[in-house]
Amino acid sequence: MALCGAASAQSLLGSVVDVIRTGSFASFPTDWTVTVGIEGRASPSYYGSGNLNIDPVPVFSLRPEGKTARFRSMRDSPSIALIHLGGFYAGPTGRFQKARKEADHDELRGLGDVDWALEVGFFAEYWATGWFRTRAEVRRGFNGHEGFVADLSADFIAPLGDKWSLSGGPRMSLATASALQPYFGVDVLQSAASGLPVFDTKGGLKSVGVGGQLKYQWTQEWASRVYVEYERLVGDAGASPIVTERGSSNQTTVGVGLTYSFNYKIR
């Protein structure tokens, strides 16, 4: 919901900026397009897990009526484009990482819990053409981990007739040691309790992969999409005994969703 709601925040922020610049609420849009929906998503139970969890994901977005929604991949973190120069966008971004609970997974016995983490930072994306986008995010973690994470991606967007569109491209993720250690490291006490060898993580390349989505616009109001994101854990993330002995370096997320859009007028 946060991912889809990012477009709403961006639209609202732009309208507020117009109000401040002009000093008149007459510039604030009264006609909006609202999108609601639901997705079913199967994703790894935790970083390095060989099992999947299936969860419902609500969808919500809001934009001024008549404005085309910007392309977003499932991998994008919620963000607000405060800078827009031609095909270049940049601004703040953030992501929430849920807690990892030892009691929820037999594979984590003896490793203890990892608290939730909030990652905040900046993103930049560039549209070389209307069908090719590159994007970079750099985020700093708080609470569950205190390190830095960088996600890089590229997407080719191809319309297939009037109703179909296909998009996808390569992915890469890097992280510092302090961002990896809570999820992939094993200290002396954890080793004694779990039976896994001691493992200290080092920073560097975390994963490489590819992702894509296929969208079908049934009518002006109804749309559906399916997507898949695959990443292979590499470096110390892939070498961790949590992954090699009790999990998998192959991490796949699959989802399918349906949305409905309608116009709403603020009176």
Report pLDDT digits (tens) over 180-220. 999 999 999 999 999 999 999 999 999 999 999 999 999 98
pLDDT attached to residue 267: 67
| Nearest Cα residue to 52 out of 208, 244, 230, 254 | 254
The CA distance from 40 to 2, in Å, is: 15
| Nearest Cα residue to 236 out of 161, 168, 183, 167 | 183
- Full set of structural domains in the chain with CATH: 2-265 (2.40.160.40)
pTM assigned to the model: 0.82
Beta strand 148-160 with 117-129 is unpaired
Are 182 and 107 in contact, with CB atoms under 8 Å apart? no
pLDDT tens digits, 57-68: 888 877 778 777
pLDDT attached to residue 180: 98
Q: Which residues contact 14 (CB under 8 A, 6 or more apart)?
A: none
Beta bridge partners of 173: 151, 207
Mean residue pLDDT across the chain? 89
Residues of the chain with pLDDT under 70: 1-29, 267
The CA distance from 230 to 208, in Å, is: 8
| Nearest Cα residue to 150 out of 178, 125, 122 | 122
The CA distance from 186 to 191, in Å, is: 6
pLDDT attached to residue 84: 87
Place of tokens 């297939």: 160
Are 244 and 235 in contact, with CB atoms under 8 Å apart? no
The CA distance from 35 to 16, in Å, is: 21
